[in-house]
């Protein structure tokens, strides 16, 4: 080798070493990433398994609660809204149960059997009136509330004939993102955002008060688990101007062990000046039929949130809906 070529050979060797180092580093990084992804996938699978186990435990406990109450469900025992931590190997599950029927059922603005293709869903005036009453009770002007109530019924019902202040397919065709009405029940309360007249501000104001039960029944309000803060849900049943203060006065009369029956409740309601009639009067309950379950599962760095709906109309209670990622 000529002396003048020794520097070039050394430079070539150093360049090869540098390239090999980069390739080795890249391979190690890919290996580390693949290992991390595999670990996360395993942790997520384990988190789902823990969530399914927690669902079964919650359903069993709810069955015991409903069965022991013999038709009555009260706040005794502090079960509502109380987080329960279940320690598990390598992680934890935090479960919170609430009365899932103490909300306005958005699907109650129509009548008809959900899931039966031979039955048409038709607008239910009583449900629309209650929805408008709820909006008025939480401070939404009736001029805004009524069109939203009609539009919701039109969005769900089976026909294409708009209500006086409603909206069918034609009203949605001219939007920046054109779409059609559902022509069926809502599966989640978040679908309310698609209704004509709804704004992000109105949705945030309404969201704590509404739900989408898999039935068109008028909201089954359990007055034994209703909190004073939820008085608007009782006020919406009034035949007069919805008055949350009057509804709170009724709840203040609730016996320590809850009302024995609906007759006892309406006696106290009448004394407080809260009157109702028709379907609205019969939808009041002293027992709970639906329960909302929130789960927060933690395994290492993995966090998984679930919300579920449990049907306790027939025992044993069973889970009928779940969704991941969004807390209630």
Distance CA 273, CA 155 (A): 35
Residue 153: predicted pLDDT: 97
Residue 2: predicted pLDDT: 60
Residue 89: predicted pLDDT: 82
Residue 327: predicted pLDDT: 36
Tokens of 310: 């449990």
Residue 177: predicted pLDDT: 84
Phi, psi of 116 (to 5 degrees): -100, 110
Whether the domain at 45-100+289-324 and the domain at 108-208 fall into the same CATH topology: no
CATH architecture of 45-100+289-324: 2-Layer Sandwich (3.30)
Q: Which of 102, 93, 89 lies closest to 58, judged by CA?
A: 93
Tokens 């306790």 belong to 312
Distance CA 323, CA 91 (A): 21
* Bridge partner residues of 296 (DSSP): 94, 305
Helices 125-137/142-156 angle, 10° precision: 140
Distance CA 24, CA 118 (A): 65
Asked whether the beta carbons of 219 and 105 are under 8 A apart, the reply is: yes
Domain 108-208 has CATH 3.40.50.1980: no
3-state SS of the chain is CCHHHHHHHHHHHHHHHHHHHHHHHHHHHHHHHHHHHHHHHHHHHHHHHHHHHHHHHHHHHHHHHHHHHCCCCCCCCCCECCCEEEEECCEEEEEEEEECCCCEEHHHHEECCCCCCCCCCEECHHHHHHHHHHHHHCCCCHHHHHHHHHHHHHHHCCCCCCCCCCCCHHHHHCCCCCCCCCCCCCCCHHHHHHCCCCCHHHHHHHHHHEECCCCCCCCCCECCCCCHHHHHHHHCCCCCCCCHHHHHHHHHCCCCCCCCCHHHHHHHHHHCCCCCCHHHHHCCECCCCEEEEEEEEEECCEEEEEEEEEECCCCCCEEEEEEECCCC
Phi, psi of 259 (to 5 degrees): -75, 140
Tokens of 220: 């089954």
Where along the chain do its domains lie?
45-100+289-324, 108-208
Residue 38: predicted pLDDT: 60
Compute the half-sphere exposure of residue 146: CA atoms within 13 Å on the CB side of its CA.
Answer: 6
- What's the average pLDDT block by block, 10 residues per block, for the chain (328 residues)? 62 76 76 64 84 94 93 93 88 94 96 88 94 95 95 95 94 88 93 94 96 95 95 89 88 93 92 82 93 92 91 94 68
Residue 93: predicted pLDDT: 93
Distance CA 232, CA 72 (A): 22
């Amino acid at each position: 080798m000529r002396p003048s070529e020794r520097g070039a050979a050394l430079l070539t060797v150093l360049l090869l070493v540098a390239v090999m180092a980069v390739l080795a580093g890249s391979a190690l990084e890919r290996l580390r990433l693949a290992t991390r992804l595999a670990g996360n996938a395993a942790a997520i699978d384990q988190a789902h398994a823990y969530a399914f186990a927690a669902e079964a435990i919650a359903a069993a406990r709810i069955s015991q609660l409903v069965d022991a109450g013999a038709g009555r469900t009260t706040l005794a025992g502090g079960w509502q809204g109380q987080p329960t931590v279940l320690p598990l190997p390598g992680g934890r599950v935090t479960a919170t149960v609430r009365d899932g029927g103490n909300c306005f059922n958005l699907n109650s603005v129509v009548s008809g059997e959900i899931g039966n293709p031979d039955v048409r869903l038709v607008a239910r005036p009583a449900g629309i009136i209650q929805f408008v009453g709820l909006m008025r009770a939480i401070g939404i002007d009736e001029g805004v509330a009524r069109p939203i109530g009609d539009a919701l019924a039109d969005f769900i019902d089976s026909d294409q004939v708009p209500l006086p202040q409603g909206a069918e397919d034609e009203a949605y065709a001219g939007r920046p993102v054109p779409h059609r009405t559902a022509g069926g029940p809502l599966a989640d309360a978040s679908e309310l955002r698609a209704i004509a007249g709804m704004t992000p501000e109105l949705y945030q104001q309404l969201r704590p008060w509404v739900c989408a039960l898999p039935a068109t029944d008028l909201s089954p309000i359990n007055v034994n688990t209703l909190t004073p803060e939820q008085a608007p849900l009782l006020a919406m049943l009034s035949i007069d101007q919805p008055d949350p203060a009057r509804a709170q006065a009724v709840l203040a009369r609730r016996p320590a062990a809850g009302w024995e029956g609906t007759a006892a409740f309406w006696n106290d309601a009448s004394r407080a000046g809260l009157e109702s009639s028709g379907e609205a009067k019969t939808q009041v309950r002293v027992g709970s039929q639906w329960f909302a379950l929130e789960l927060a599962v933690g395994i290492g760095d993995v966090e998984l949130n679930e919300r579920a709906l449990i049907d306790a109309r027939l025992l044993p209670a069973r889970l009928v809906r779940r969704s991941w990622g969004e807390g209630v």
